[in-house]
Structure 1
Amino acid sequence: MTKLEQIWFNECYKSLIDSPLSHWLQTLPSLMDSWQRTAKHGEFDKWCRLLNKLPKTSPSHIDLTSSVSIGSHGDVDEYTKKQIEGLLKQFMPWRKGPFHLHDIHIDTEWRSDWKWDRVSPHIASLKNRSVLDVGCGSGYHMWRMLGEGASRVIGVDPTQLFLIQFHAIKHFVRNTDAPCENIHFLPMGIEGMQPLKAFDTVFSMGVLYHRKDPIAFLQQLKDQLRKGGELVLETLVVDGDENTVLMAGERYAQMRNVWFLPSTDALSVWLSRLGFENIRVVDVNHTTLDEQRSTPWMDTQSLKDFLDPEDITRTIEGYPAPQRAVIVANKK
């Protein structure tokens, strides 16, 4: 295990001691040891070396409540700013954000702040809550959760580039007043987690439709919640009644790993059958070309390339264009 990985994981283990999640320490260290022995992305060691080159700065301010903004232009000289920007561009593509770092705008493919603005008014206060973010990506929403006063935020996602991007941002947060000892990223999927039954809030945003067995996935989310805990689920949906579920063909909007797109009514039935209550659909929204698009920080194809150029209400395969819903529920 590299020195960086050892630091990252040990910080997480330390934060779990004497917490309601302490029983996770029975299995988590061995899981991370196993992860270390797996084949890494071919760029992983290079990414770690680049992380070590990020300069230490002293940000004059941090905002995690209305954005993820760290420092200002005057905190660093122009050379240092260009050095930081050059290193961060080595971690492209940046998909979830945006981040503002010493006047550097990491303009990500997704305007994840828009999604957060749609979700946050409808959930329980995160103040002093223990939060799990499943499929956390680069961690944008994790920082917003911390900004809302969560006592602990843990994100799980197997994508190694997201792990690197998260720690690139955390590198600069360390020298601020943010409690960064309470936020951690674990490179794993929820299927590798023991049923902890201890988180106050579990988020899953943009994951369900990638699962071949959505019912098993929803059960895994439930298994991480304490009794009465809150699930915040965001996923692709289609119009229809409680019996409507679209199973995409080989591709949906050019994505190969899309399986089931239920209606909100069908998804509510699934959640009820699994033992959730107080189920409510709090937002339904069509993804726009302003919310997901190519940028200098993600310069390959994006949503406009995956829609029918003659009818953007359809994907190029002929399915309904992406429509996303947020459903909030509580574990009985």
Structure 2
Amino acid sequence: MQNPFKIHFENLWQALHDNEPLNSWSSLLQPALEAAVAAENNGNLVRWSHALEQIKAFPNNANFAIDQASVSASSASSLSEQEKLALTEALKGLHPWRKGPFDLHDIHIDTEWRSDWKWDRVYPHIASLENRTVLDIGCGSGYHLWRMLGSGAKLAVGVDPSLLSMMQFLSVEHFIKQQQPAYFLPLTLEQLPIDKRGGGFDSVFSMGVLYHRRSPIDHIYDLKSQLRGGGELILETLVIPEDYGQMLLPEDRYAQMRNVWFLPNVKELQHWLQRCGFINVRCVDLNPTSIDEQRTTEWMEWNSLESFLDPQDHSKTIEGYPAPLRAVMVCNKPQ
């Protein structure tokens, strides 16, 4: 079986080489990447690779488009109904699809999350991405990477340890006619090199990650280390209403998630960012997650948000905590 990652990484090394101070990353990251994609580390990798091979058998002479509804790639020579069914089956071999939506050859991948809604809340409040280098931590299938490119970024690098997410990213990438400067690293933020001369990115996004970290302050410092002086951090995370208290540390699960740790209120989160040395710290959006934004679909058939809320009172999780409330914080690293 052909290595599904080889060409992608070769293109990445060239892109990083052309972007100082990221040009040292290729030699520093290769051992970690080799370990991350080793087949023996993930029993599903062979099955996912087979699905990707089937997907890549379909034409990629597509027109790539980004609009307010989805990331899409449509071909002038449309597929037959039989071909569309075969492609749909292959794409569903990469279930569950959590972040999107995508439209590929008129197949609508209706992902669990309406990630376009989140982008619409974030984008009006951030610095222009025109000609910027961008890092997206916890990028999932890469939906927001494509939106960043559509907003003018010259290089978008996504980081997520999920090999399934990378397979989904490579599936979408296949249908893009021309090489787009978006790349996926199946690693964690902590595995990325830190350049002593300062970070190499103009914008760093961390959306839906902070509450999964047992040390949120360390996460914020790690994000800061990847930013150049004057660069912008966009941090989106779960918070609690101010009248609930300063911070919530769930006893066990939160909305049925075991890996949820610290949920501050907005003022406390602002204090964390300021204590870590960020300036111009502001909350630009505060939004309760609805069951229309995160839900079960035919592309993610497992339980979703509605199953994790109190059935009698959707203002509470099934454990009795405040229902998911998400804040978008924007701030800058000093020059």
Partners of 1:162 and 1:287 lie apart in 2 by 22
Q: Is the 8 A contact 2:159 2:186 kept in 1?
A: yes
**Number of the residue aligned with 1:248:** 250
Q: How far has the Cα of 1:40 moved from its partner?
A: 2.8
Counterpart amino acid of residue 115 in structure 1: K
Q: CA-to-partner distance for each residue in 1:79-103, whole Å, 9 max, x for gaps?
A: 2211111100111111111111111
The equivalent of 2:11 in structure 1 is 11
SS of the residue corresponding to residue 224 of structure 2 reads helix
Structure 1 partner of 2:66: 64
Give the secondary structure class of the aligned counterpart of 1:91.
Answer: coil
Structure 1 distance, partners of 2:287, 2:131, is 30
Counterpart selection for 2:119 from 101, 110, 116: 116
| Residue matched to 1:265 | 267
Task: State the TM-score, normalizing by the size of structure 2.
Answer: 0.94
**Quick one: structure 1 residues 23 and 243, their matched pair in 2 at CA, closer, same or farther if it must change by over 3 Å?**
farther
Greater mean alpha carbon deviation, residues 54-63 or residues 118-127? 54-63
> What is the letter of the counterpart of residue 309 of structure 1?
P
Q: CA deviation at 1:243?
A: 7.4
Q: Which residue of 1 aligns with 2:94?
A: 91
Q: Assess, with a 3 A threshold, how the Cα gap between structure 1 residues 132 and 242 changes in structure 2: closer, same or farther.
A: farther
RMSD value over aligned CA atoms? 1.8
Q: 1:70 & 1:122 partners in 2: Cα distance?
A: 28
In structure 1, the partner of 2:42 is: 41
Deviations 1:24-46 (A, max 9, x none): 23411122123244743211112
- Structure 2 SS opposite 1:75: coil
Percent identity over the alignment is 50
For residues 61-118 of structure 1, what are the alpha-carbon distances to aligned partners after superposition, in whole Å with 9 as ceiling and x for unaligned?
A: 3212433011058622222211111100111111111111111110011100000000
Does the 8 Å contact 2:254/2:317 carry over to 1?
yes
Equivalent residue in structure 2 for 1:281, among 280, 283, 308: 283
Matched, 1:52 2:53: yes
User: Counterpart of 1:7 in structure 2: which amino acid?
Assistant: I
- State the alpha-carbon separation in 1 of the partners of residues 333 and 201 from structure 2: 11
Gaps of 5+ in 2: none
Q: Report the secondary structure of 2:220's partner residue.
A: helix
Query: How many Å separate the matches in 2 of 1:37 and 1:95?
Result: 24
Which string of whole-angstrom CA distances, capped at 9 and with x for unpartnered residues, describes residues 303-331 of structure 1? 11000011110001000000001000000
**Contact kept in structure 1, 2:39 and 2:45, CA below 8 Å:** no
C-alpha distance in 1, partners of 2:46/2:216?
34
Q: Distance in 2 between matches of 1:252 and 1:34?
A: 32
Q: TM-score, normalised by structure 1?
A: 0.94
Cα 1:23/1:241, change in 2 over 3 Å: farther
Unpaired segments ≥5 residues, structure 1: none
Alignment check: 8 A CA contact 2:60 2:75 kept:
no
Provide Cα deviations, 1:259-299, integer angstroms capped at 9, x if missing partner.
00011111111111111001110000000010011011111
Q: Which residue in 2 is equivalent to 1:184?
A: 183
Provide the rounded CA distance (Å) in 1 between the counterparts of 2:99 and 2:8. 21
Deviations, residues 214-248 of structure 1 (Å, cap 9, x unaligned): 00000000000000000000000012289711111
* C-alpha distance in structure 2 between counterparts of 1:5 and 1:92, whole Å: 19
Structure 1 letter corresponding to 2:200: A
Cα distance in 1, alignment partners of residues 213 and 62 from structure 2: 42
Within a 5 Å distance, the mapping from 1:26-175 to structure 2 comes to 26-37=27-38, 39-54=40-55, 55-66=57-68, 67-71=70-74, 75-173=78-176, 175=177
Change (3 A) 1:242 1:29: farther
Matched residue type, 1:183:
A
